[in-house]
Amino acid sequence: MAEITIELRKNGSMKLPGPLVLVDENGQEQVIDKAVVSFCRCGASKDKPFCDGSHKEIGFEGPSFTVKLQTP
């Protein structure tokens, strides 16, 4: 079994290991070929769904925690 760790950074983004595939609401797939991908949690990013650091400018506050998923 492999373990996937999702990290929600205190007052920041949600960090996932890559590469990964995003599937939009129309079923279109986009391959993200990076070792780490950071997603916006604050809603202010100009590059949604990705984090662009806007959380620092708006004073976003959110807890930090880690999610560990087991894959077969």
How far is the C-alpha of 11 from the C-alpha of 66, rounded, in Å?
14
How far is the C-alpha of 41 from the C-alpha of 49, rounded, in Å?
9
Whether residue 19 has a cis bond before it, omega within 30° of 0: yes
Surface-to-core class of residue 57, CB atoms within 10 Å of its CB (0-12 exposed, 13-18 middle, 19+ buried) = exposed
- Enter the pTM of the model: 0.90
Any idea what the CATH number is for the domain that residue 42 is in?
3.40.5.90
pLDDT digit string, tens, across residues 23-47: 999 999 999 999 999 999 999 999 9
For residue 60, what are the domain limits?
A: 2-71
pLDDT at 72 over 90: no
Quote the number of domains for the chain.
1
Q: What is the pLDDT of residue 59?
A: 98
pLDDT digit string, tens, across residues 44-59: 999 999 999 999 999 9
Write down the mean pLDDT value for the chain.
97
